[in-house]
A and B are shown apart, each in its own frame.
Chain A
Amino acid sequence: MKLYLLMTILLSSLFSLSGCADLKPWVKPYERNNLADPIMSLGRHGVAGSYVHHVYQARESARGAEGGAGGGCGCN
């Protein structure tokens, strides 16, 4: 009985893995109009956005994970 249960679970695992391979991106390219709108951009303000991170880094102890590529402001 235990062996039967074990086999069931193992086979189920294999099926589930093949199921993973079938997973398709669920937002199709033609459904991305809203996402492509500039108001959905994380870095909409360019250097003005980088600058405000610098303002806070100079006055607060927290630093990092601001979301933009960078490598530190080099301005401590």
Chain B
Amino acid sequence: MALGVVVAVIKFTSQAFFKTIFKLLITVNFLTHSFNSLAGTLPVDTVDSLYHRYEGGGMTIDGPFILVRKSVGNQFSLSGHYYVDSVSAASVDVLATASAYTEERTEVSAGVDYLNEKTLMSFKYTNSEENDFTANSAFFSVSQDFFGDLTNFTLGYARGWDDVGQLGKSETEDADRHIYQVGMTQVLTKNALIGVNLETITDEGFLQNPYRQVRFIDPGNTARGYSYQLESYPETRTSTAMAFRGLYYLPYRASIKGEYRYFNDSWGIESHTYDLLYVHPLDDQWIVEGKFRYYSQTQADFYQDLFPFKDSQTHLARDKELSNFSGTTFGAGISYELGQGAITHIDRLKFTLLLDYIQFEYDNFRDVVAGEGLAVGTEPLYEFDAWVTRASITLEY
């Protein structure tokens, strides 16, 4: 009501001003929501195949990622994916307390999308298997276009349940997860669209890595001055992330995307992510792009690089992912596309190569491998670089 009065007064003042304000009100309204894909159409039939490789910090992880999607009639689209991570691990955490190892993770999913006029409903079940870890999730979302298809609103919910095992032990631990998503996109002008995503996740159960350890000062250990004990995480965690995005078509044929995400959780971690992407077509077939990303976070309340003594607090963690750190990414990509008519029965064929370089710098996680022999607590701060390669062939039919 109060809003109506304000709007009324503005309308009495100026009709043009009112229209501007109303657009702003709609903008503010969707700042509490988010954006996704177009809801008024089914996803296109596609075979999307990717080779991915991550290399850095002693880890090499690569494998295939294949997604197949096929529509059935005008209202249904079926999809499935197959994903593999082949891991060769010799990271600083592994080398400090264990030996290098290799393992494989395989993930599969099956999904269905149902379109009814401007409403798209999606369901997907995903299973991920490792030799000591199983993760399952079921996801449901409803997406709706309205206001002349200028606005898209999406609600999503997912439930996840994990079995966390440990090699050499028969019993497993459980972890449950609930994910709530809300999103909205809005076409602002014929050259600009913006959107917001909000996502809350709650976890309950065994949330730590069963192999990782924390170190504490131990005068009895004369060789290095510290010893290790198993880490201990809280059994619950709730996190909230909110992202704002904007995409703008430049006066010549090119686009620029900006993104900001704020995150916090019940473990005391707070983070900011900034993303910038520039996409520049060279002609109808070749497109190049460049990206920059900066991420920073504060540590979890129960994180310490070096605890003062054994069992010094209830919850203990020395995972570098829970420390104070930042990551900077520079990325470049190129794609080549053959459009409709180039190949019979194929609508589109696209080849893409993307290369990212990431630098991680830790503010309170020390490199005990490089600092071997130095006084405890004076080891150099850890940092590492990583290369991420993605090579894909996307076929639409």
**Real complex partners, A and B?**
yes
Residues in A neighbouring B46, C-beta threshold 8 A: 46
Closest 3 pairs (CB-CB, A-B): A25-B148, A71-B139, A71-B158
Residues in B neighbouring A37, C-beta threshold 8 A: 249, 253, 255
Does A1 interact with chain B (Cβ within 8 Å)? no
How far, in Å, is A17 (CB) from chain B's closest CB?
A: 6
**Could you tell me if A65 and B327 are in contact, using CB atoms closer than 8 angstroms?**
no
Query: In whole angstroms, how far apart are the Cα atoms of A65 and B195 in the complex?
Result: 11
Query: In whole angstroms, how far apart are the Cα atoms of A29 and B145 in the complex?
Result: 14
**Could you tell me if A52 and B388 are in contact, using CB atoms closer than 8 angstroms?**
yes
23-42 of chain A: CB within 8 A of chain B: 23-27, 29, 31-35, 37-40, 42
Q: Contacts A12-B11, A60-B327, A63-B201 given: A46-B34 contact, CB under 8 Å?
A: no
CB-contact partner of B150 in A25, A61, A64, A65, under 8 A: A25
Residues in A neighbouring B185, C-beta threshold 8 A: 42
Bitwise, A41-76 to B at CB < 8 A (1) or not (0) is: 011111110111001100111111111111111111
Chain B interface, number of residues (Cβ within 8 angstroms): 105
**Could you tell me if B36 and A69 are in contact, using CB atoms closer than 8 angstroms?**
yes
30 intermolecular pairs with C-beta atoms under 8 Å apart: A12-B8, A26-B150, A27-B187, A35-B190, A35-B191, A35-B193, A42-B36, A45-B392, A47-B49, A47-B65, A48-B50, A51-B65, A60-B295, A60-B327, A61-B300, A62-B241, A62-B295, A63-B239, A63-B241, A64-B179, A64-B200, A65-B241, A65-B261, A67-B183, A67-B243, A67-B259, A69-B122, A72-B137, A72-B177, A74-B135
B residues with CB within 8 A of A = 1, 4-5, 7-9, 11-12, 18-19, 22-23, 34-37, 46, 48-50, 52, 54, 65-67, 81, 85, 105, 107, 122, 124, 126-128, 135-139, 141, 143, 147-150, 154, 156, 158, 160, 162, 175, 177, 179, 181, 183, 185, 187, 189-191, 193, 195, 197-201, 239-243, 245, 247, 249, 253-255, 257, 259, 261, 263, 265, 267, 269, 271, 273, 279, 281, 287, 295, 297, 300, 321-322, 327, 333, 352, 354, 356, 360, 388, 390, 392, 394
Query: In whole angstroms, how far apart are the Cα atoms of A59 and B295 in the complex?
Result: 11
CB-contact partner of B4 in A16, A34, A38, under 8 A: A16
Residues in A neighbouring B137, C-beta threshold 8 A: 71-72, 74
**Could you tell me if A12 and B9 are in contact, using CB atoms closer than 8 angstroms?**
yes
Query: In whole angstroms, how far apart are the Cα atoms of A75 and B50 in the complex?
Result: 18
Residues in A neighbouring B297, C-beta threshold 8 A: 60-62
**Could you tell me if A16 and B158 are in contact, using CB atoms closer than 8 angstroms?**
no
Residues in B neighbouring A31, C-beta threshold 8 A: 190
Interface of B is mostly: strand
**Could you tell me if A12 and B12 are in contact, using CB atoms closer than 8 angstroms?**
yes
Chain A interface residue count: which class?
35 or more
**Could you tell me if B22 and A20 are in contact, using CB atoms closer than 8 angstroms?**
yes
Scoring A12, A56, A62 by chain B CB atoms within 10 A of each residue's CB, the highest score goes to A62
Does A15 interact with chain B (Cβ within 8 Å)? yes
**Could you tell me if B179 and A59 are in contact, using CB atoms closer than 8 angstroms?**
no
Query: In whole angstroms, how far apart are the Cα atoms of A63 and B261 in the complex?
Result: 10
**Could you tell me if A75 and B107 are in contact, using CB atoms closer than 8 angstroms?**
yes
